[in-house]
């Protein structure tokens, strides 16, 4: 009897191969697609790990397009802009043409991406108060022609001016006199007509948090029955960030600059609040010990006292406002100032044992420091289980990535996200790692705790790069290590040595791709999400096992919270996270069936520590080498 195949399987076995010359049927892709189809039809959540090259996006888009055919709606949430662009500009148009179906897909963006006509008009009325009048004039030409008001369509970079003209939390909504002309309102209406909405994790979890805080009254996204999380290894971190509190040094000035344009505002009160804001955040920055970009918020009485003065100054600014001159816009700004005071007060009190209170210092445009206070929940698993995975209005959530399990076991992912009872599927990569990849584990490596570790591995890195002829990523776990090795090898190599931070990320990647022999030294953000197929990347060197740095206040607090329960913080958190990151770093090398190269791990713990076997066992099966001669033989045989 002939086996009856499902509509989704038919697409992959018959429709696409018959309609597209050269289309390759991948059994791994079909296996994943069938698991997703089953989850959507039977209203089960799905956790799907699929190796590089599986074609994950088609494996969930095809069954999702069937599920939303009856006026249901699905969300596809990603971690990166690159994947959103791939879905909207490549994958969905391809499937629409091949299947003859309109996916009715729309991209959802945060409000800050859209021009606010009211704020823009106010800026025009205040010309002469700011140094960037030229930018405002260029915006005027664009506003006269744009249909969307989307910053992405600007033919120039507006810089800091955009923060003064974009939509923000001071929006009065339907009470705005330009509501019918609002670009953000138009964008939200387009989402109402969409069957598939593409967004990022930050927007999705901000919407989820807003729904909870408002009792379901407010939302950023329309109602949906299905959600797919691509790059799902990031959903816990995204949820933790959006469900916490952030108070940056720029949050209050943005509000006060708007308020001081309003009639009836006491400018001296605004100036006092601005001065205290600068003084307070300068004091926060000066409390940093060491050079790390993040640190725990100190329990300092003087700091709390100064913060209290700032809160009172904000209250005075609002209290002194002429009540006869308060309109919808003013009320919206007052509400934002009230939330600001409430958030700052919570961070300063640091009273919730389930949160970690910390400070982040980043470099903003013009090399200026931006100081941000955070109150971050230690565990979001129960919240996610309640709001998302146990939500009766959500039929199915699909979570997929190449790096979700540890040796096929999803226990860590389930525990961290609160998703239990899901269908689970693991499909291997269709690539032949035995033929395409060599794992190099050089002997005699120094202990990573050795203060001279980087000086001692620099010659080993040089030897590998000379053998491969460059074309390599050298991935570190700290800027200190990256910079130390760069200083030791950059002038010795017969090819260009690039370093993270010397150019913007996308520009740096493009330079690396164009100069096929170049070498790129980089840290955390380059361990994943960077796609360099072909001859430009034939070697990836992982200098240390990617354990989180010990001075990360969030990680430190999470580890202590685990220890208080009597469990091993190392085996419960540090090791699983490092194993998944190593898989991500390893995955930078082989991106197509034609790619071929070497991955070198320079941390001896993969061979000397009992847990080292766990790192090696999660990697795809490939040949292992212990000498540079073996590396040379592999490269010459390709």
The per-residue DSSP string of 386-449 comes to IIIIT-TT--EEEEEES-S-BTTB-HHHHHHHT--S-EEEEE--SS-HHHHEEEE--SSPPPTT
Residue recorded with tokens 């230690």: 378
Distance, in Å, from the CA atom of 253 to the CA atom of 246, rounded to the nearest integer, reads: 15
6: which DSSP letter?
A: P
Residue 171 is predicted with a pLDDT of: 87
Indicate if the pLDDT at residue 552 is higher than 90.
no
Whether residue 346 sits in one domain with residue 472: no
Note whether 320 and 349 are same-domain residues: yes
Cα distance between residue 612 and residue 603, in whole Å? 10
CA distance 605 to 615: 10
State how far the alpha carbon of 18 is from the alpha carbons of 23, 96, 120, 214, 581, in Å: 8, 15, 53, 50, 39
- Given 395, 427, 459, the domain boundary residue is 427
In angstroms, the CA 340 to CA 460 distance is 52
Residues 462 and 565 in one domain: yes
Helix (H) or strand (E) holding 510: helix 505-514
Answer whether residue 184 is part of any domain: no
Same domain, yes or no, for 486 and 602? yes
- Chain segment 163-193, per-residue pLDDT in tens: 889 999 888 888 888 999 999 999 999 999 9
Instruction: Indicate the helix (H) or strand (E) that contains 151.
Output: none
Question: What domain range includes position 421?
Answer: 7-104+194-241+380-427
Q: What pLDDT does residue 625 have?
A: 95
Give the containing element (helix H, strand E) for 603.
Answer: none
Q: Are 625 and 607 part of one and the same domain?
A: yes
What pLDDT does residue 2 have?
60
Output the average pLDDT for the chain. Answer: 92
Following CA atoms 54, 58, 64, 65 in sequence, which dihedral angle do they give, to the nearest 10 degrees? -160
**Residue 79: partners with Cβ closer than 8 Å, 6 or more residues away:** 200, 201, 230, 231, 234, 238, 529
For residue 618, how many other CB atoms are within 10 A of its CB?
Answer: 18
Least confident of 89-103, 210-224, 286-300, 495-509: 286-300
The average pLDDT across 209-215 equals 91
d(CA 229, CA 237): 13
What are the helix and strand counts (H, E) for the chain?
A: 28, 18
Residue 265 lies in a domain: yes
Closest among 237, 238, 242 to 213, alpha carbons compared: 242
- 501 and 567 share one domain: yes
pLDDT digits (tens, 9 = 90+) for 281-340: 999 999 988 777 889 999 899 999 999 999 999 999 999 988 877 888 888 899 999 999
Q: How far apart are CA 611 and CA 258, in angstroms?
A: 56
- 181, 121 contact by CB (below 8 A): no
Contacts made by residues 159-163, CB under 8 angstroms, sequence distance 24+? 159/132, 159/135, 159/365, 160/132, 160/365, 161/123, 161/130, 161/132, 161/135, 161/136, 163/250, 163/254
In a domain, 188, yes or no: no
136-146 pLDDT per residue, tens: 888 888 998 99
pLDDT of residue 158 exceeding 90, the answer is: no
Judgement on whether residues 586 and 531 belong to the same structural domain of the protein: yes
The torsion angles phi and psi of 7, rounded to 5 degrees, stand at -55, -35
Instruction: Establish if 185 belongs to a structural domain.
Output: no
Q: What is the pLDDT of residues 446-479, one digit of tens each?
A: 999 999 999 999 999 999 999 999 999 999 999 9
**Residue that finishes a domain, picked among 427, 443, 458:** 427
- CA-to-CA distance for 117 and 144, rounded, in angstroms? 11
Coil, helix or strand at residue 338: helix
The secondary structure of 190-250, three-state, reads HHHCCCEEEEEHHHHHHHHHHHHHCCCCCCCCCCCCEEEEECHHHHHHHHHHHCCEEEECC
The percentage of residues in the chain with a pLDDT greater than 90, rounded to a whole number, is 76
Phi–psi pair at 466, nearest 5 degrees: -65, -35
The CATH number of whichever domain residue 232 belongs to comes to 3.40.50.300
- My answer on whether 482 and 612 are in the same domain is yes
The count of structural domains within the chain is 4
Q: Domain for residue 189, yes or no?
A: no
Residue 325, pLDDT score: 78
Judgement on whether residues 18 and 50 belong to the same structural domain of the protein = yes
- Give the separation between CA 2 and CA 10, rounded to whole angstroms: 14
**Residue 132 confidence (pLDDT) above 80:** no
Q: Taking the alpha carbons of 164, 167, 173, 176 in that order, is the dihedral positive or negative?
A: positive
What pLDDT sits at residue 476? Answer: 96
Whether 183 is in a domain gets the answer: no
Find the CATH number of the domain harbouring 294.
1.10.275
487 and 605 co-located in one domain: yes
The residue to which tokens 């072909």 are assigned: 534
Say whether both 632 and 498 belong to one domain: yes
In a domain, 367, yes or no: yes
Provide the terminal-to-terminal Cα distance of the chain, rounded to the nearest Å.
45
Answer whether residue 538 is part of any domain. yes
User: pTM to 2 decimals?
Assistant: 0.92
Q: Are 208 and 273 members of one domain?
A: no
- State the alpha helices, DSSP H only, in 287-409: 301-319, 328-349, 381-384
């Amino acid at each position: 009897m002939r086996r009856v195949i499902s509509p989704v399987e038919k697409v992959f076995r018959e429709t696409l191969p018959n309609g597209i010359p050269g289309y390759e049927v991948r059994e791994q892709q079909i296996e994943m697609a069938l698991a997703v189809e089953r989850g959507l039809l039977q209203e089960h959540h799905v956790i799907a790990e699929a190796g590089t090259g599986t074609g994950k996006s088609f494996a969930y888009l095809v069954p999702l397009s069937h599920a939303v055919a009856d006026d249901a709606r699905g969300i596809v949430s990603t971690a990166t802009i690159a994947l959103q662009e791939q879905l909207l500009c490549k994958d969905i148009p391809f499937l629409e043409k091949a299947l003859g179906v309109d996916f009715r897909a729309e991209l959802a963006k945060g409000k800050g991406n859209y021009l606010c006509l009211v704020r823009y008009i106010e800026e025009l009325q205040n010309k002469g108060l700011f140094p960037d009048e030229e930018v405002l004039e260029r915006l005027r030409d664009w506003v006269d022609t744009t249909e969307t008001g989307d910053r992405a369509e600007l033919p120039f970079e507006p810089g800091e001016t955009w923060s003064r003209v974009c939509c923000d939390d001071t929006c009065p909504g339907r009470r705005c006199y330009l509501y019918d002309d609002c670009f953000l309102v138009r964008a939200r209406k387009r989402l109402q007509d969409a069957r598939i909405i593409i967004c990022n994790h930050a927007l999705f979890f901000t919407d989820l948090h807003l729904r909870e805080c408002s009792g379901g009254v407010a939302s950023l996204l329309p109602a949906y029955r299905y959600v797919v999380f691509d790059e799902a290894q990031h959903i816990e971190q995204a949820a933790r960030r959006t469900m916490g509190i952030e108070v940056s040094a720029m949050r209050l000035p943005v509000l006060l600059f708007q308020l001081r344009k309003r009639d009836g505002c006491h400018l001296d009160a605004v100036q006092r609040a601005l001065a205290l804001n600068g003084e307070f955040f300068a004091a926060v920055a000066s409390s940093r010990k060491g050079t790390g970009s993040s640190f725990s918020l100190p329990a300092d009485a003087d700091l709390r006292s100064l913060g209290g003065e700032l809160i009172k100054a904000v209250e005075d600014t609002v209290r002194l406002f002429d009540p006869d001159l308060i309109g919808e816009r003013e009320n919206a700004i007052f509400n934002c100032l009230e939330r600001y005071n409430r958030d700052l007060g919570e961070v300063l009190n640091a009273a919730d044992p389930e949160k970690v209170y910390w400070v982040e210092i980043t470099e903003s445009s013009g090399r200026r420091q931006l100081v941000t206070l955070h109150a971050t929940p230690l565990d979001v698993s129960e919240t996610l289980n309640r709001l998302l995975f146990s939500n009766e209005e959500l039929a199915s959530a699909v979570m997929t990535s190449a790096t979700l399990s540890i040796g096929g076991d999803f226990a860590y992912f389930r525990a961290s996200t609160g998703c239990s009872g899901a269908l689970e599927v693991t499909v291997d990569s269709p690539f032949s790692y035995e033929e395409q990849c060599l794992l190099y584990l050089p002997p005699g490596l120094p202990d990573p705790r050795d203060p001279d570790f980087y000086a001692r591995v620099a010659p080993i890195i040089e030897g590998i790069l000379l053998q491969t002829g460059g074309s390599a990523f050298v991935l570190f776990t700290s800027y200190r290590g990256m910079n130390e090795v760069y200083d030791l090898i950059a002038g010795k190599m017969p090819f260009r040595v690039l370093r993270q931070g010397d150019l913007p990320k996308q520009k740096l990647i493009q330079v690396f791709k164009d100069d096929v022999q170049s070498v790129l030294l980089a840290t955390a953000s380059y361990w994943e999400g960077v796609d360099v197929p072909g001859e430009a990347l034939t070697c990836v060197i992982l200098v240390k096992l990617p354990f989180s740095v010990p001075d990360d206040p969030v990680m430190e607090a999470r580890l202590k919270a685990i220890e208080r329960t009597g469990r091993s913080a190392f085996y419960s958190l540090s090791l699983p996270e490092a194993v998944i990151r190593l898989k991500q770093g390893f995955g930078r090398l082989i991106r197509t069936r034609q790619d071929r190269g070497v991955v070198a791990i320079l941390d001896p713990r993969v061979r000397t520590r009992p847990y080292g076997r766990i790192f090696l066992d999660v990697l795809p099966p490939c040949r292992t080498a212990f000498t540079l001669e073996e590396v040379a033989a592999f490269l010459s045989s390709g």
